[in-house]
Amino acid sequence: MQQDINSQEMPPLSLEAYRVLLPSIGGLALASTVVNVVVQQAHRTTGVSTFNGLSMLVSALAIGVLFLSTFLVKRFTKRFISAFTFASIHLAGFSCLALALLTASGIHVSLGLAVALQACVTVGSTFLKFYWLRKLRGTSAQAAVIVVFCALAISEFATYCLSFSGELIWYTAGTLLSFTQFSAVRVSRKLGAAGDPFPAVSESYFGTDEDRFSNRSFLAVAALGICFISIPMGMGLGFPVGEAIYMSLVPRFMVLLFVMLVSAMWIRFGLASRMRAITTSIWVAMQVLLALGAIFFSIWPNTVSVGAAFIMGSSLVLQAFLWYLTIAFISFGWRDPFYYCSVAWIAMTVLLVAGMRVDAVASRVFLDNTPVIISIMSFFVLIGAQVVFTRLLASPSERTERQREAGAPITEDDVRRIPLMGVLAISPQHQAPMVQQKPDVHIATSVMEMGQRFGLTGREVEVLTLYALGHTQARVSEELKLSTNTVHTHIKRIYDKTDMHSRQEILDYIAEFGSPKH
């Protein structure tokens, strides 16, 4: 009987099991706090950045260069990543330090210099976020949820506390938090990859197979969903004239409360492995907060900070989900992780700023732009919901569904999409016997049938395909970019599910019950 992916359990909850996630949680939280406090002045305001989004737009140019570089570089080397991280920490830290010294000395800072320094803080801290997301490549959906929502909760609590202080404290805190990243990086290197104790399974992210993450249309749908939800958020953050809304004590506390409640809820879902519930209900949560914000705008247009609290809470939930979505594509996509990190950040940030500009234009055209803004917000929320629920969260993939309905065998083109890496062996073995006619196609088709019959996950099907081709455990580990312990765990699970105990038993099963050779 096929096992339900949602029934998979996490390892026992203990510091020993979960401490590998702590550096990523801390690193994401530190980087987010620096941008929140130094650049956005959240929760003090709802501003995307201090200068109505100008710093973020300038930063988007640098992030865009990184995005374009991924078309030229297939995979960045570890040496480059180390140098990149080192430079990012210094860029953010020294930019914060410069702002602190200028503020302490009382020197008047021109608009251009202030924007440049804040853009440097944003770029350095954003690159550090990318580093920590990249470190989570190959990590399970459950662990990803725990990391992103723990980081969000810590970051927003720190931001809330710092929002009551002044600029000098903000910039000083930004400096200290940026350079603290060195400690987080060192600890993460000692603890190893999070994917070792928490190996990724594609089905647990969106209930779909790995092929879908290599589908450009699936990536386009994800980007469109982010765009359609970001525009109304930007409009709410800049309601009604496109400028950042000042947040008094009560709205600030409301935002913190929203973040803490949502984070606690989804961390609990992650520990309970209710991953399919996360991907759908998180969009519902964002839309409900947007709707409540619009309602408060329409009822009390002169007290916009209360409505803005709901919108800001929604945008923070989107940020956490964006991290989660990025980890999914990093783990199973076909490009370098920086490609997915940068395109997701640009899509959200630029559209948030664009949403605030829509408010500014509406305020010049209409004497009473409140109903106009709320109508436009509702339109984008509706379109975003249709895109997300009909395309992004639909499962399984259309390709797999068509194969199941038609009973079509896997073709040679399909097999070429799976690297012919070889088999995993619990103990050293000699080269496995092969069928003579199109062995790769026959084995792939037979293994797919075994996967459906025994309830194997997508990763287990891939490992089993390679297992039947006769290569060593070291080769499988190298080609799949997994540790040897993770590969060993996958093959043990295959044995448990199939009730077989050696490679030869599986080869015999394929020979007897596999798809007919063509």
Digit-coded pLDDT (tens) for 16-48: 678 889 999 999 999 999 999 999 999 999 988
- Report the domain count for the chain: 2
Average pLDDT for 314-326: 92
Phi-psi region of 265 (alpha: psi -120 to 50; beta: other; left: phi over 0): alpha
The mean pLDDT value for 331-351 works out to 89
Model confidence at 382, in pLDDT bands (50, 70, 90)? confident
- Domain end point (choices 365, 399, 433): 399
Q: What is the DSSP letter of 300?
A: -
The rounded radius of gyration (Å) of the Cα atoms in the chain is 25
- Give the type of residue at 193: A
Among the listed residues 207, 149, 155, 200, the one whose alpha carbon sits nearest the alpha carbon of residue 324: 149
Dist CA 167 CA 83 (whole Å) = 30
101 shares its domain with 197: yes
The residue that leads in pLDDT, 99 or 284, is 99
For CA atoms 446, 452, 458, 460, give the dihedral sign: negative
Band of residue 416 on the pLDDT scale cut at 50, 70, 90: very low
Helix (H, G, I), strand (E, B) or coil at 485: helix
Cα distance between residue 200 and residue 330, in whole Å: 11
Task: Assess contact for 148 and 28: CB atoms under 8 A.
Answer: yes
What is residue 82's predicted lDDT score, i.e. its pLDDT? Answer: 93
Residue 126's Cβ-count burial label (10 Å; 0-12, 13-18, 19+) is: buried
With beta carbons less than 8 A apart as the criterion, state whether 335 and 34 touch: no
Residues facing residue 45 across a β-bridge: 246
How far, in whole angstroms, is CA 95 from its chain's centroid? 27
Say whether both 43 and 98 belong to one domain: yes
User: What pLDDT does residue 280 have?
Assistant: 73
Q: Are 463 and 487 in contact (CB under 8 A)?
A: yes
Confidence of residue 335 (pLDDT cuts 50, 70, 90): confident
**For residue 404, is it within any domain?**
no
DSSP notation for 378-436? HHHHHHHHHHIIIIIS--S-HHHHHHHHHTPPPPHHHHHTS-------SS---PPP--S
* Local confidence band at 356 (pLDDT 50, 70, 90 cut-offs): very high
Look at the block and give the residue holding tokens 């400028």: 243
Query: Distance between CA atoms of 337 and 326, rounded to whole angstroms?
Result: 8
Strand partners, 139: 199
Taking 3-state DSSP, the helix, strand and coil percentages for the chain, each rounded to the nearest 5, stand at: 75, 0, 25
Reduced to 3 states (helix: H, G, I; strand: E, B; else coil), residue 500 is coil
Tokens encoding 29 = 């939280």
Residue 314 falls within a domain, yes or no? yes
Q: How sure is the predictor about 61, in pLDDT bands with cuts at 50, 70 and 90?
A: very high
Residues 324 and 413 in one domain: no
Q: What confidence score (pLDDT) does residue 210 get?
A: 60
> Which of 65-69, 188-192, 346-350, 469-473 has the weakest average pLDDT?
469-473
- Do both 66 and 198 map to the same domain? yes
Q: Are residues 335 and 440 in the same domain?
A: no
Largest CA distance in the chain: 82
Do 110 and 142 fall within a single domain? yes
Q: Say yes or no: 78 and 29 in one domain.
A: yes
**Full domain range(s) for residue 459:** 409-513
Would you state the structure tokens that stand for residue 144, as one six-digit string?
């990803």
Would you say residue 311 has pLDDT above 90? yes
pLDDT band at residue 319 using 50, 70 and 90 as cut-offs: very high
| Residue at 423 is within a domain | yes
Query: Looking at 399, 424, 448, which one is the last position of a domain?
Result: 399
Q: Is pLDDT above 50 for 156?
A: yes
**Average pLDDT value for residue range 341-361:** 92
pLDDT bin (cut points 50, 70, 90) of residue 108 is confident
Q: How far apart are CA 265 and CA 261, in angstroms?
A: 6
- Lowest average pLDDT, out of 149-158, 174-183, 252-261, 289-298, goes to 289-298
Banded pLDDT at 309 (limits 50, 70, 90):
very high
Q: Is residue 107 exposed (0-12), middle (13-18) or buried (19+ Cβ within 10 Å)?
A: exposed
pLDDT bin (cut points 50, 70, 90) of residue 518 is: very low
The band of 212, judged by pLDDT with boundaries at 50, 70 and 90, is: low
Locus of tokens 């606690």: 264
Is 175 in contact with 274 (CB distance < 8 Å)?
no
Least Cα distance to 85 among 37, 136, 126 occurs for 126
Do 47 and 144 sit in the same domain of this protein? yes
List the single range of 164-168, 224-228, 444-448 with lowest mean pLDDT. Answer: 444-448
Name the domain boundary from 341, 373, 399.
399
Domain annotation covers residue 518: no
Count Cβ atoms within 10 A of the Cβ of residue 427 and give its class: 0-12 exposed, 13-18 middle, 19 or more buried.
exposed
Least confident residue range of 39-53, 252-266, 488-502: 488-502
The answer to whether the beta carbons of residues 62 and 123 sit under 8 Å apart is yes
Segment of 159-173, 217-231, 502-516 carrying the highest mean pLDDT:
159-173
Are the C-beta atoms of 330 and 337 separated by less than 8 Å? yes
Please indicate, yes or no, whether residues 226 and 330 belong to a single structural domain of this protein: yes
Q: Which residues, other chains included, contact 407 with Cβ-Cβ below 8 Å and sequence gap of 6+? A: none
Residue 215 in any domain: the answer is yes
DSSP 164-226: TS-HHHHHHHHHHHHHTHHHHHHHHHHH--TTTTSB--THHHHS--GGGGG-HHHHHHHHHHH
> Is there a single domain that holds both residue 369 and residue 467?
no
How far apart are the C-alpha atoms of 407 and 441, rounded to whole Å?
15
pLDDT(273) > 80: no
Specify the CATH number for the domain of residue 222: 1.20.1250.20
The whole-number average pLDDT for the span 108-128 is 94
Please report the pLDDT score of residue 455 as a whole number: 75
Examine the domain organization and report whether 386 and 413 are in the same domain. Answer: no
Determine the average pLDDT of the residues in 139-154.
92
Instruction: Spell out the alpha helix ranges (H) of 35-77.
Output: 54-69
Pair (314, 376) in one structural domain: yes
How many Cβ atoms from other residues are within 10 Å of residue 118's Cβ?
25
Does residue 246 sit in helix, strand or coil? strand
How far is Cα 518 from Cα 512, in angstroms, rounded to an integer? Answer: 15
For residues 458-487, average pLDDT:
70
